[in-house]
Amino acid sequence: MKKKLNKELGLFDVFAISTGAMFSSGFFLLPGIASHYTGPSVFLAYMVAGVLILPTMFSIAEISTALPRSGGAYFFLDRSLGPLFGTIGGLGTYFALMLKTTFAIIGIGAYAALFWNVPTKLVAIVATIFFMGLNLIGAKKTSAFQKIFVVFLLVILVTFIADGLYSIFFNESVSQTSFESQFTPFMSNGLGGLFTSAGFVFVSYLGLTQIASVAEEIKNPERNIPLGMTLSLIVTGLIYGVGVFLMVGLIDTESFSQEMAPAAVAASKIFSWLPENTGVILMSIAALAAFASTGNAGLLSASRYPFAMGRDKLLPAVLSKIWGKGTPAVAILFTTIFIILFILLLSEEGIVKLASTFQLLIFIFINFSVIVFRNSKIESYDPGYTSPLYPFMQVIGIIISFLLIIYLGWMPILFTAGIIVMAVIWYHVHSRGKVKREGAIFHWFALLGQYQYDELENELMTILKEKGLREGDPFDETVINSRISIVKTPTNLGEILDKVTDYFRTELQCDKQTLRDRFVHSLDEDSVVALPGVLVFHVKSKNVLHPSIYTIVSKEVIKDVTPFKNPEPFAPIHICCFLINSDENPKQQLRMLSRLVDIMERPDMVQHLIKMDSHRAIKEYMLQNERFISIKLLKETAQSSMIGLQLKEVTLPKDVLVALIERDNKTFAPNGSTVLQEDDILTILGEEKSISKLFKSYISNNL
């Protein structure tokens, strides 16, 4: 059964999912209700709430780029604080997210009832089933639908803001009272009321963090997650602040606090250049799109929690099943059933405070998790984005969340306590005996002489391998310049170590015996990666200026490896690969090691390499990906025009590099003056689009 989700979401998908999840009740329903706590300064409360979520956004962005896995807060808490906190965070966030999603979907029914005589809850149930169908098709299809919602919504809201600002500041006939009176008194309940209101509308920004739950499905998460979240927060914060400011300025103060559709009422007072009621209709349609985008994104994000928890045995394993479209079908169906039950059984009152309170508690845990991961000193914790001002940013995030919980009152706190108790009971009854892992906090304890859970490092290493190299990592360059030895006669590990240490000792500036002893000790210390038919040695040294690779391919079985602990189960050994890098860049060493291991784990890799007699062919095999092509210069082919030219005279795309040339069974790195000859084999690296273009020009046309 497939256990991985498809990586198919790009930067705009991240922006659309995050932004779409934030625009619904926060803009179209809550402003009037929130003004009860602070009066006209409610627009400022929205902007304060946007600033207050920044520390948690930075923390989530860091952990998401280090651990791009489905489950969001659950996965982060489980791997940092342990499975008990993972269960609490997973179940609590799951229910809070479903409640918020339910509230948004009910909003679809409520706004639909303004135009048609239809039952609110029936419309909500039909909408839920529709979103379920989209999610079952796949995250990319769901996100495509989401992008349509978000673009449509942003166009209307930007138009509303532009016309509203013009009406307030340049069209005096719109306002029945003076502009100043609408904002007097500015803070009806002082700073306490402002922060209470900020805590109340904090739920409006929770969609920002939902993207973490689909991190496993995001392409290039180290760039797209932090950038997408940042763009989403800037756009949403500006629209919230200015939009609610306009509502306060356009709607009578007394009626504003009682208004359940303030955006539509504000729209009725502007858009004078459109036919009567057109502005109200447009804003109502925008509200429907907003509620739909939140419901759609909410179902997408919420379903990843039971999927991830089922994969980790904290919930029944059936929830982790993935169907043919690459989606967690059972988890989506399970979540849909819950949402429909909430629609049928729960009232709308209090949902916002309940959802906000538990999310704030989770935010406290997430900020603490960053501190735990940093202090655990786990080398394979390798975030592509690091939170600024660590650890002050995380401490501020913890304090902010704690204060906002207090301002929200006792009822939501009691609800949160109830969810925690339920999660603890479930963990002890169902999960405790099935889960044999601990979080990164035990590695922190290990530094104080306590127990640590080694399997966590293995899991983080697996995630590191799946993430791949980071932009700037010189893996391809290192392979191109690497040393290859093809051994055709019987040999043993001792002879191979002698050969390798002879090669590396000059660069490392140490004597041969010292270097050889390091390789031998690395075997004894379990720091060699042992794979079927392969040993991968990895060493760090302060004397190394740049990473180097030496690969030994033996046609015969390498002898005398059984005394060492690691390779014993994987004999016979045919390949030994040595990676050496500076000890000043351990994260890069791990990423390059992960890539090297990924290559050595390809199906039938050993059989392929021992059949090769060319250094170029072996290097090409190690470079092989969508950014690589090999072209042989033959007469009467498209590439024959290159024969006789200097390399600098050949017209190639700007973003490609002729890395290697094989000529007369010898391989070398060319320069611009190298004259190309017939039967030369060119190894070319470059961007995917350019490599695809070269393939069509020089390979497919010759087939």
My answer on whether 361 and 499 are in the same domain is no
Q: What CATH number is attached to the domain comprising 342?
A: 1.20.1740.10
Q: Are residues 543 and 608 in the same domain?
A: yes
| Closest C-alpha among 405, 341, 400 to residue 367 | 400
Whole-angstrom Cα distance, residue 443 to residue 391? 18
Q: Tell whether 439 is covered by a domain.
A: no
Q: What DSSP state is assigned to residue 559?
A: B
Domain boundary among 560, 591, 619: 619
Phi, psi angle pair for 291, to nearest 5° = -60, -40
Residues 614 and 629 both lie in one domain:
no
Domain boundary residue, one of 619, 634, 664: 619
Task: Specify if 184 maps to a domain.
Answer: yes
Sign of the CA dihedral 72, 74, 78, 81? positive
* Structure confidence at residue 551 (pLDDT): 94
For residue 582, being part of any structural domain is answered with yes
Query: What CATH number is associated with residue 696?
Result: 3.30.70.1450
Alpha helices in 447-511 (DSSP H): 454-467, 475-480, 493-508
Q: Which two tokens stand for residue 54?
A: 């920044």
Query: Is residue 577 located within the same domain as residue 672?
Result: no
Residues of the chain with pLDDT under 50: 1-3, 174-176, 445, 447-451, 703
The verdict on 500 and 583 lying in the same domain is yes
**Which burial class, exposed, middle or buried, applies to 380 when counting CB atoms under 10 A from its CB (0-12, 13-18, 19+)?**
buried
632 and 610 within one domain: no
Residues 663 and 607 both lie in one domain: no
In degrees to the nearest 10, what's the CA dihedral of 547, 553, 559, 564? 30
Report whether 237 contacts 207 (CB < 8 A): no
Cα distance between residue 400 and residue 48, in whole Å: 11
Give the end of a domain, one of 580, 602, 619: 619
Mark whether 522 and 412 lie in a shared domain.
no
pLDDT in tens, 633-667: 988 888 888 999 999 888 888 888 888 888 888 88
pLDDT tens, position by position, 409-443: 777 788 778 878 888 898 888 877 776 655 555 55
Please tell me the distance from the alpha carbon of residue 69 to that of residue 192, in angstroms, as a whole number.
Answer: 38
Instruction: Tell whether 123 is covered by a domain.
Output: yes
pLDDT for the residue numbered 566:
52
Considering the domain boundaries, does residue 126 fall inside one? yes
| Shared-domain flag, residues 377 and 358 | yes
237 with 337, same domain: the answer is: yes
pLDDT at 337: 92
pTM for this entry? 0.70
Sole residue written with tokens 């800037």: 234
Return the exposure string of 507-518: e unless at least 16 CB atoms fall within 10 Å of the residue's CB, then b.
ebeeeeeebbeb
For residues 385 and 528, membership in a common domain is answered with no
Question: By C-alpha distance, which of 142, 165, 116 is closest to 332?
Answer: 142
pLDDT attached to residue 703: 43
CATH number at residue 519: 3.40.930.10
Contacts of 117 (CB under 8 A, 6+ apart): none
* 272 contacts 172 by C-beta, under 8 angstroms: no
Domain assignment present for 634 = yes
Residue 452 within any structural domain of the chain: no
Angstrom distance (rounded) from CA 666 to CA 203: 65
Q: Are residues 294 and 403 in the same domain?
A: yes
The pLDDT score that the predictor gives to residue 242 is 93
Sequence letter at residue 275: P
539: containing domain: 468-619
On whether residue 272 sits in a domain, the answer given is yes
Quick one: pLDDT at residue 172?
61
Looking at the structure of the chain, the number of domains it has is: 3
